[in-house]
Amino acid sequence: MLLRILLTGLLGVLWDGVTAFGGVRLVDGENKCSGRVEVLRHEQWGTVCDHGWDRREAHVVCLELGCGLAESALHEAHFGAGSGEIWLRHVQCSGHEASLTRCAVVLHSDAYCTHENDAGVICSGTLLMPTLTLLSPHTVFSPGEAVRFGCSVLLGHHLSDFHLYKHGVSTPLVTQRAEQGPTPVELTLTDIETFHQGSYSCRYRIKSGFPPQLLSSPPSNSINITVVELLTPQHWYNTSTEAPAGSVIKGHNFNITCSTPQQYPGGSFQLRLIRSNGTVRQTLPALSPSVTFTFPDAQSSNEGYYYCLYRVQMGGRTFISRESQPLPIAIRDPDPVLSPMVISWIVSSLTFVVTVVVIIIVAKVLCNKEKKPTELERETRTCVDNTYVALSINKL
């Protein structure tokens, strides 16, 4: 290896592929991506000597032809001996060249080449499929979190960049330039939202051909992520109609209902009561968008501030919504003045009294009307023994 580097550095030159060579092809293989390597020079096709021929030179040929990566670098006329000139002898590629004709060659080599030494390659036909991994420790996230993916491929050269795709979206969500180093390359989704939920894959691109062009790899395996967005629950309460607003009469029943439009499998509602001597919690499974907590016999211990929240466990994580606004409930003793029985008794009594008074007044009026003398009678009265006696009046 050291001898090869020294020969390449001291004796190698970069052949002018633009003016001297016209292209590269593979012949006598099973398909267009396998065969004997031939280059075009002065409008004549010639072969390449296999001295110093290895996977780096084969990679350059495969990438130049858009045939993916080299699976094999073949020697000794594996695909048969060619004819004509042997245009390249002892080619020395670094693996980053855009064309085989841009690689260095050893000009002063004593190696003797014939067509029995024609070089060949077998290319993958397409770029290798990358591998997508999830660098984050879980697959379920809350809005605002970051998701870290890793995209890797068994290729250390010609890499241009990596892309992260969401299924159904044609443009990449994340692009990362490739560094000359080991993979995986980290692709991070920051500040995710609910629309980021779905299936993801990655691709990479390489520089290939002359002039260089970017080729895109096939998509990687898929990874699904879930984004859990918990909305703040709503709540309300119901009790007897005679209770003042915000209150429940002691001994009466009341209900508190918690509701949220966003549901997840296995979710539950929790009702939290904060009172002067501590906190009480109750939990019910969220079998529907709303659940009702029932209190059949209201007591002083039920007085305080009530809060609803929604929680769910997914992917080994527990997600809890924000608490609802406080719902204050006071427990009041029954008011006898306001009880229905007392009110009914009072109304009945008042009705009776009013009726009696009206009867007495009417009777008195009628009695006075009967005893009151008429004006004619008053004029015709006389006093006899201190008693008025009506005089008879003769009619004309």
Per-residue pLDDT tens listing for the chain (396 residues): 444 434 443 333 333 433 456 789 999 998 889 999 999 988 899 999 998 899 889 988 988 887 887 888 999 999 999 988 888 888 888 877 878 888 888 765 556 889 999 999 998 887 788 999 999 999 999 999 999 999 998 766 678 899 999 999 999 999 999 876 667 899 999 999 999 999 999 999 887 655 566 778 889 999 999 999 999 999 999 999 989 999 999 999 999 999 998 889 999 999 999 998 899 999 999 999 999 999 999 999 999 999 999 999 999 999 999 999 999 999 998 866 555 666 677 778 888 888 888 888 877 777 666 555 555 555 555 545 555 555 554 544
Please tell me whether residues 308 and 248 are part of one structural domain. yes
Please tell me whether residues 15 and 118 are part of one structural domain. yes
- What is the domain count for the chain? 3
What are the residues facing 201 on neighbouring strands? 165
Of 91, 123, 155, which residue constitutes the final position of a domain? 123
Q: Determine, yes or no, domain membership for 317.
A: yes
Please tell me whether residues 151 and 61 are part of one structural domain. no
N residues, the chain: 396
Q: Determine, yes or no, domain membership for 260.
A: yes
Q: Determine, yes or no, domain membership for 28.
A: yes
pLDDT given for residue 385 in this prediction: 53
pLDDT given for residue 124 in this prediction: 81
Please tell me whether residues 101 and 153 are part of one structural domain. no
pLDDT given for residue 96 in this prediction: 74
Q: What is the CATH number of the domain that holds 316?
A: 2.60.40.10
pLDDT given for residue 393 in this prediction: 46
Please tell me whether residues 27 and 98 are part of one structural domain. yes
Q: Determine, yes or no, domain membership for 340.
A: no
CB atoms within 10 A of CB 374: 8
Q: Which domain holds residue 25?
A: 2-123
User: Mind listing the pLDDT tens digit for each residue in 107-162?
Assistant: 655 568 899 999 999 988 877 889 999 999 999 999 999 999 999 987 666 788 99
From CA 146, how far away is CA 197, in angstroms rounded?
A: 12
Please tell me whether residues 32 and 95 are part of one structural domain. yes
Please tell me whether residues 87 and 191 are part of one structural domain. no
pLDDT given for residue 59 in this prediction: 85
Q: What is the CATH number of the domain that holds 78?
A: 3.10.250.10
Q: Determine, yes or no, domain membership for 112.
A: yes
What's the one-letter identity of residue 374? T
Please tell me whether residues 94 and 143 are part of one structural domain. no
pLDDT given for residue 117 in this prediction: 92
Please tell me whether residues 106 and 136 are part of one structural domain. no
Q: Determine, yes or no, domain membership for 371.
A: no
pLDDT given for residue 180 in this prediction: 66
Please tell me whether residues 13 and 112 are part of one structural domain. yes
Please tell me whether residues 96 and 38 are part of one structural domain. yes
Q: Label residue 80 left, alpha or beta by phi (over 0 means left) and psi (-120 to 50 means alpha).
A: left
Phi/psi at 278 (5° precision): 140, -170
Of 289, 313, 334, which residue constitutes the final position of a domain? 334
Q: Determine, yes or no, domain membership for 175.
A: yes
Among all chains, which residue has been given the structure tokens 């096939």?
A: 218
Residue 126 · residue 218 · CB < 8 Å: yes
Closest CA to 186 of 146, 220, 149, 221: 149
Among all chains, which residue has been given the structure tokens 């997508």?
A: 132
Q: Determine, yes or no, domain membership for 372.
A: no
Of 227, 246, 277, which residue constitutes the final position of a domain? 227
Please tell me whether residues 187 and 152 are part of one structural domain. yes
Prediction pTM value: 0.62
